[in-house]
Amino acid sequence: MSANVISLLIEATLQTCYMVAASTILGTLFGLPLGVFLATSQRGELLSAPLVNKVLGLIVNAARSVPFIILVVAIIPFTRALVGTSIGTNAAIVPLTIAATPFIARLVENSIREVDAGLIEASRAMGATPFQIIRKVLIREALPGIMLGLTLAVVSLIGYSAMVGAVGGEGLGDLGIRYGYQRFMPDVMLAVVAILIVMVQLVQSVGEWIAARVDKRAARNRGH
């Protein structure tokens, strides 16, 4: 493998890391509060707003049901209006973020719904406000599950970022298509696949480690 190809692999890896990191941050900024609201806004819950909950739930489900490659093509006008172009890493971040947001929202919602309802009732009995309960009880108790969910989201985004290469995005997917497939360079394709596998393994390992570190329940059990 030539020095030029190695240089291209390094550049493409950095582009993929940039796309995944940016879309993860943006997707979490949008998806985390959305997931918290979905988990606490059904009838009789802390932020009871059943109609809004139902509408947002339908929107989230609709967004999640659209295949990613179709989403990328469908929002090209929106992407171009937002970042000035429909190709490149900055453009790829737009569909990646839109795909990540509802996915993260549902993961956060599921993690929060697994928190013991008795903790909520006990907090209410002590006079805590709904937002205090959400911040100090629900999110803290659900944090290990949220971290594992975010790990899963990042792994999915790594795969999505490779798919973006088929429609003008940069990164490892684009390199694999242009060199590995179109120029019949199987060594480049194998290198791209190997790098993606390593990235997924690293993300999974780090995510599981962080989730274990923030798991207060495990810490309490160790204390006993």
Q: Is residue 224 part of a domain?
A: no
Residue 187 tokens read as 């060594």
Q: Is residue 112 part of a domain?
A: yes
pTM over 0.85: yes
Using only C-alpha atoms, the chain has a radius of gyration, in whole angstroms, of 20
Calpha distance 38→44 (Å, rounded): 13
Query: Closest Cα partner for 113 from 93, 76, 136, 138?
Result: 138
- Min mean pLDDT across 121-125, 151-155, 205-209, 214-218 is at 214-218
Residue 148 confidence (pLDDT) above 90? yes
Q: Is residue 114 part of a domain?
A: yes
Q: Which of 128-142, 144-158, 167-181 has the highest mean pLDDT?
A: 144-158
> What's the confidence (pLDDT) of residue 167?
77
Residue 166 confidence (pLDDT) above 80? no
> What's the confidence (pLDDT) of residue 35?
95
What amino acid is encoded at 167 in this protein? Answer: V
Contacts with 79 (C-beta within 8 Å, 6 or more apart), sequence order: 85, 86, 91, 94, 95
- Min mean pLDDT across 134-138, 157-161, 179-183 is at 179-183
Q: How many domains does the chain have?
A: 1
Q: Is residue 60 part of a domain?
A: yes
**Ramachandran sector of residue 140 (left: φ over 0; alpha: ψ -120 to 50; beta: rest):** alpha
Across 155-168, average pLDDT? 87
Q: Is residue 221 part of a domain?
A: no
Residue 144: domain span = 3-216
Neighbours of 42 (CB within 10 A): 16
> How many angstroms separate the most distant Cα atoms in the chain?
68
Across 178-185, average pLDDT? 78
Task: Report the chain's mean pLDDT, rounded to a whole number.
Answer: 89
pLDDT per residue over 78-107, tens digit each?
Answer: 999 999 988 889 999 999 999 999 999 999
| Residues 191 and 179 sit within 8 Å (Cβ to Cβ) | no
> What's the confidence (pLDDT) of residue 218?
52
Residue 170 tokens read as 């940069």
For residue 198, what pLDDT band results from cuts at 50, 70 and 90?
Answer: very high
Q: Is residue 107 part of a domain?
A: yes
* The residue to which tokens 């791209």 are assigned: 192
For residue 224, what pLDDT band results from cuts at 50, 70 and 90?
Answer: very low
Q: Is residue 42 part of a domain?
A: yes
Q: Is residue 132 part of a domain?
A: yes
pLDDT exceeding 90 applies to what percent of the chain? 63
Identify the CATH number of the domain in which residue 63 sits.
1.10.3720.10
More confident residue, 110 or 170: 110
C-alpha separations of 201 from 22, 61, 196, 212, 220 in Å: 19, 29, 9, 17, 29
> What's the confidence (pLDDT) of residue 222?
47
Residue 137 confidence (pLDDT) above 80? yes
> What's the confidence (pLDDT) of residue 168?
77
